[in-house]
Copies of this chain bind each other. A is one copy, B any other.
Amino acid sequence: MHAIIQRLQDCLGLAGVLFEKEDVAPYCKDWRGIFSGDALAVAMPKTTQQVAEIVQLCQELHVKIVPQGGNTGLCGGATPEGDAPQIILSLKRLNQIREIDLANQTITVEAGCILQSIQEKVAASGAFFPLSLAAQGSCTVGGNLATNAGGINVLRYGNTRDICLGIEAVLASGEVYSHLKGLRKDNTGYDLKNLLIGSEGTLGIITAGVFKLFPSPFDHSAALVAIDDVSEMVALLHELQRRAGNELCAFEMMSRESLELTIRHFPEFNRPIFTAAKYTLLIELANFEVDNSSASNRVQAVLEETLEGYLVKGAILDAALATSEAQVNEFWAIRDHITLAQAKEPGNIKFDISFAISKIASFIKSTDAILQQKFNGVQIINFGHLGDGNLHYNLCAPKDAKSDYILNHEKNMTELVIAQIQLFDGSISAEHGIGQLKREYLMHHRGRVAYQMMVAIKKALDPDNLLNPNKVLFSEE
């Protein structure tokens, strides 16, 4: 038994340390089952002070640390790899809501809080916490901060970093960095908050964060829209932003193929509108403003009027408006089931990518054509947050292909799409991060100068490469 286990038990008590193989195993594999590794133990601190003590112990005993939240990441950033002695530091039990300050419109939460529990706690206080994503029932806010998570409310509220006003983190030195004052303006030196957010546990272990709260939206309005032309989609996006401002909450795009796949696996979602055009949009608006002067739903009127104009000029082919909150949720259920449908296919390749919105149409046209030419019949499951310039551009095998099709073509397909992303000045990771999955592409993608800056910062803040080694950047040991 490695010395670290006894020392961790001294620090955390018996209940705070897992070290039997079968107890540790679930933490050593990502939920998609793509990555796995070994760890000596899982340490489960309940306080920031305990996190600091664990880091000091690991430093002393030369044991590496893999921080982990809800283990819902998509890039293997929280999964151990390599054969250096290492532990998983699970933040799950560091899960108190420290403060809701309604007069400052902020909440201070510890890293292990489940995202959905924060949403619920804030809703109960009469305010609104906007961060929302598919894994919200099991992901932790510490993981959201470590990866700068995106999700479905980015168009109006921004990414995780945009709603976070400050963090607390344990550094590789075992010291605690803390800046939880809840300030909306603070120009006192370098922006350490944003450096740690999105660094995937490689520069520090985020233990708490303070977030902005917002007034609750009400009167949601949504529509499904059948549309062929990506440029017209962008025009419609800007028209709605001009007319509805920030009340436009979501502008999601789904390709016909992604809906056909979903209906094949979940026939209950079949709707005539999905086969009418190359793409279906899911558009959502919400009232954020109390308007006593009119009884009508103002944003619904804006949405109707705008879509009518687009129908008349032939820029869209069809539109269906939700007539109830239940129908709004039903529209979203379709969107959410694309991922589940994909999981039923024999292998698939996922790309979480982004572009200047002005370049999306050309990227899709060019990349669709090249893929079909080189991999005839490949299913392009293209959907995503068009309003943010973010596509989930995923590939499944042709319908009649053998079960090892994706396995055989994965490398070529990946390299082709990544070359296209470079060509159209896009990003290889819009919201999922780098982790292990995209590490080998990072230097070429961001360029040597940016990569070397990152390496220099990693060395400066974690000279012994103690924290989440070999994630985001390759270890240089």
Contacts and interface: CB of A to CB of B under 8 A. Distances in A.
A241 interface: yes
Given A103-B234, A242-B290, A426-B181, A188 B442 contact: yes
Contact of A191 (B101, B177, B198, B445): B198
Given A147-B187, A189-B473, A182 B289 contact: no
A333 to B, nearest CB: 24
Given A289-B244, A459-B460, A189 B446 contact: yes
Interface in A445-462: 445-447, 449-451, 453-454, 456-457, 459-461
A426 B249 CA distance: 33
Contacts of A92: none
Interface string A225-241: 00000000010001001
Contact of A446 (B188, B430, B433, B450): B188
Which of A355, A449, A451, A461 is the most central at the interface, judged by chain B CB atoms within 10 Å of its CB? A449
B186 A429 contact: yes
Contacts of A389: 104, 183-185
A184 to B, nearest CB: 5
Contacts of A461: 453, 456-457
Which of A148, A171, A190, A192 is the most central at the interface, judged by chain B CB atoms within 10 Å of its CB? A190
Contacts of A188: 427-429, 434, 438, 442, 445-446
A195 interface: yes
Interface stretch (A29-37, A40-48, A154-162): A154-162
Contacts of A431: 185, 187
B358 A187 contact: no
A185 B354 contact: yes
A397 B385 CA distance: 56
Nearest to A288: B245
B454 A457 contact: no
Contacts of A185: 150, 154, 159, 354, 385, 388-390, 427, 430-431
A150 B454 CA distance: 28
Contacts of A186: 354, 427, 429-430
Given A105-B357, A189-B442, A356-B106, A171 B449 contact: yes
Contacts of A246: 245-246, 288
A283 to B, nearest CB: 16
A447 B425 CA distance: 40
Contacts of A305: 292
A114 interface: no
A145 to B, nearest CB: 12
A175 interface: yes
Interface in A164-187: 171, 175-179, 181-187
Contact of A289 (B245, B438, B447, B473): B245
A103 B177 contact: no
Interface stretch (A12-20, A117-125, A293-301, A405-413): A293-301
Contacts of A162: 158, 162
Which of A105, A186, A355, A358 is the most central at the interface, judged by chain B CB atoms within 10 Å of its CB? A186
A26 interface: no
A247 to B, nearest CB: 7
A427 B183 contact: yes
> What 4 A-B pairs have minimum CB-CB distances, sorted nearest first?
A103-B358, A460-B460, A194-B194, A245-B288
